[in-house]
Amino acid sequence: MKLFSYNKCGTCRKAIKDLEAKNIDFDVIDITEKPPSKKILKSAIKAKGLKKLFNTSGVQYRELKIKNKLKSMTEADAIDLLASNGRLIKRPIAVDMDKITVGFDADEYKQVWGK
């Protein structure tokens, strides 16, 4: 499993603790240094929807006025933007084969990742 995470993010730390408690092997990838690929982002959009993929509480989201731009942004434009700037992506993103979660919700992790 790959976990796209940010070490200063409390939600990401909760996800890591949860996966460790489940004895799930995963590689942590710093989402700010290496954002998920466009293929992973497309899967995340398919699972959660485009708006749910943006880190709406992030500074860069507000500074770049993404909320206003989202209405006219194509999915391809959004994917290009997210793939180029990991700080705009809601985190963590956990990916394993055809399974994907965006953000951390204990119930969803239990359902998707088991135990």
Single pTM value for the model: 0.92
Mean pLDDT, range 7-20, rounded to an integer: 96
Q: 42-68, pLDDT tens digit by residue?
A: 999 999 998 899 999 989 999 999 999
Domains in the chain: how many in total? 1
CATH number of the domain encompassing residue 93: 3.40.30.10
Amino acid at 44: A
Q: Between the CA of residue 3 and those of 66, 71, 95, 100, 104, what are the distances in Å? A: 25, 29, 6, 10, 11
Check whether 114 has a pLDDT greater than 90.
no
Q: Domain of residue 72: give its range.
A: 2-113
3-state secondary structure of 111: helix
Q: How far apart are CA 30 and CA 59, in angstroms?
A: 18
CA angle, 18 then 21 then 27, to 5°: 70
